[in-house]
Amino acid sequence: MEWTIQELATRAGISSRTLRHYDRVGLLAPSRVGANGYRYYDPTAVARLQRILIMRQLGMGLPAIAKVLADEVDTCDGLRAHIAALEEERDRIERQIRSVRHTLEALQAGAEPRMDVMLAGFNDLYKDEVISRWGERAFQVSNDWWHGKTLDQQLAWKQDTEDLVAAWVAAARAGISPTSARAQTLAARHVRWLSEIPGTPTADGKREQSIAMVKGLGDMYVDDPRFAGMYEDAAGAAFVRDALHTYARTQM
Amino acid sequence: MEWTIQELATRAGISSRTLRHYDRVGLLAPSRVGANGYRYYDPTAVARLQRILIMRQLGMGLPAIAKVLADEVDTCDGLRAHIAALEEERDRIERQIRSVRHTLEALQAGAEPRMDVMLAGFNDLYKDEVISRWGERAFQVSNDWWHGKTLDQQLAWKQDTEDLVAAWVAAARAGISPTSARAQTLAARHVRWLSEIPGTPTADGKREQSIAMVKGLGDMYVDDPRFAGMYEDAAGAAFVRDALHTYARTQM
DNA sequence: TTTGACCTTGACGCTGCGTCAACTTCTAGC
DNA sequence: GCTAGAAGTTGACGCAGCGTCAAGGTCAAA
């Protein structure tokens, strides 16, 4: 008793292309190949196909199925691993949904695109900075802090940020020195603003690291394209950087 | 103020390959291309990249992002559509998980692989049959019936099925006629067994269709590779088929 | 001028097949 | 015996979003 590729495919509800694919990837070889190259399948092959289709219907990948069929992995273990992977994926999507909802609400609440861009850019940049210098955990803390805020709190924080930036721009325009009292007052405010974010060295009271971070941040405002234009122009960013450097050197 | 591909990529935390890819797919063109072919990006391009990366981080696909950036779709609408897609996906995975858990429990409870194969095969086959002959709805009903059963009930049903098959094999081995009283008793039991499945014509009391289904099922036991060996051999399957045909003709 | 870093285009790989394309083989009717 | 049509074969592109060589041109510093 044996069947041609089409007979088997039709009965199994799949395409002959799929069977050829399974043959090519070594998942299911035909029991016999005629001198003409035709593939023929016997009941043993059909049984194997059964198992393949069951696992496939459960969403397992072909390599994982192959391992189970090759007896490298126990069927139960394979399924358990698959469940774990599925749960992981589900949780990831769940987080994704919350994140998108959050963004959508913020957008609807009137947060302008540029605002959003600025903050997201800050977050991203901050992420890289924090991860590379103080490890992944610190980023996790401040990230949770941000996403744990209510919409009102986020908007309020955005407002604070905008005010601070506006003050910097005004000071830079005024042509005063970065070492002047007014600039240093702004620098102090900037550092306080930073310290609101938990998980940062400034918030954690680590002096050496705080200084390094404040200086590094100043440099980034100048060098990083993502902050381009944040302080109006290159001169504005340089002003902020110089003021922050001076503050870090003399007041921290 | 402009940056080379590498400068921008490093700051943005992506690869230069990604930027080239975005250029190729028309998502983000460099603001200027030198005579040497080098790509250069200005602050406008950086801002656009910002928006792209934000949406990408939210899990949106590049084509969807392109539509939003091209103002074909409102940002909020894009996000809403994305949320809907994510929720769909999450629900799908959720169903997937339940299904795999179910299978795993059945397997651990001692259902042997061959049993599982046999029943899954039956379900699949039955699905094709029912869908093609009585429409999708009927399949839905019987599928829900199966998945609505508790594990114990499923195992009990499997046991019934096994007993029935064993009885058929014994009768076929005994060399009796398919029209004999013993064979016809088995056929009656087979039809009762079938009628337990809701949504089938037998369960619904549709006489003409019941007869057609019982006969068709008998034919399938012989012709379909997925039932190969279920009744031991071709002779066994033929015996069942003949008995069912006789029963359908004379008793239904 | 050399070296090394950075730029370019081109192309394969991954997942699981769908979908032509081009060609050979089998089957059935006249 | 011939021919049409159904079914078989291999080969290759496409899909999402890049990672990853490969081969070669350009640029900046020593």
Amino acid sitting at position A194 = L
**CA of B66 and C1' of C4: distance in angstroms?**
38
Structural element, H or E, at residue B40:
strand B39-41
Q: What is the pLDDT of residue A144?
A: 59
- Comparing every residue's Cα with the C1' atom of nucleotide C26, the nearest one is A36
Give the pLDDT mean for B148-172.
77
Distance from B186 to chain A by nearest Cα, in Å?
Answer: 26
Residue A183 burial (CB < 10 Å; 0-12/13-18/19+)?
buried
Cβ atoms of B168 and B230 within 8 Å: the answer is no
Structural element, H or E, at residue A123:
helix A113-134
Structural element, H or E, at residue B4:
strand B3-4
In three-state secondary structure terms, B32 is strand
Distance from B181 to chain A by nearest Cα, in Å?
Answer: 30
Cβ atoms of B62 and B25 within 8 Å: the answer is yes
Residue A1 burial (CB < 10 Å; 0-12/13-18/19+)?
exposed
* Closest residue to A11, CB basis, from B116, B127, B226: B226
Q: List the structure tokens of A177.
A: 């020195």
Mean pLDDT for all residues in chain A = 76
d(Cα A232, Cα A236) in Å, to the nearest integer? Answer: 6
d(Cα A122, Cα A226) in Å, to the nearest integer? Answer: 8
Percent of chain A with pLDDT over 90: 14
- Give the model's confidence band at B180: pLDDT under 50 very low, under 70 low, under 90 confident, else very high: very high
A202 HSE (CA, 13 A, CB side): 21
Mean pLDDT for all residues in chain B = 76
Q: What is the pLDDT of residue A234?
A: 73
d(Cα B5, Cα A163) in Å, to the nearest integer? Answer: 33
**CA of B42 and C1' of D27: distance in angstroms?**
20
Q: What is the pLDDT of residue B123?
A: 45
d(Cα B244, Cα B53) in Å, to the nearest integer? Answer: 65
Inspect the interface and report whether the beta carbons of A83 and B93 lie closer than 8 Å: no
- Give the model's confidence band at B45: pLDDT under 50 very low, under 70 low, under 90 confident, else very high: confident
**CA of A38 and C1' of D8: distance in angstroms?**
6
Give the pLDDT mean for A123-152.
50
Range with the lowest mean pLDDT among A121-125, B33-37, B143-147?
A121-125
Backbone angles phi, psi at A25, to 5 degrees: -85, 5
pLDDT tens-digit map of B77-97: 888 888 888 888 888 888 888
Distance from A176 to chain B by nearest Cα, in Å?
Answer: 24
| Residue B21, CB, strand D, below 7 Å | yes
Q: What is the pLDDT of residue A130?
A: 42
* Closest residue to B100, CB basis, from A82, A103, A228: A82
Instruction: Sort out which chain A residues have CB atoms less than 8 A from B127's CB and list them.
Output: 13
- Give the model's confidence band at B227: pLDDT under 50 very low, under 70 low, under 90 confident, else very high: low
B101: left (phi over 0), alpha (psi -120 to 50) or beta: alpha
Maximum distance among all Cα pairs of chain B, rounded to whole angstroms: 95
Inspect the interface and report whether the beta carbons of A90 and B87 lie closer than 8 Å: no
- Give the Cα-Cα-Cα angle A89, A90, A95 (nearest 5 degrees): 100
Q: What is the pLDDT of residue B5?
A: 92
Instruction: Sort out which chain A residues have CB atoms less than 8 A from B108's CB and list them.
Output: 76
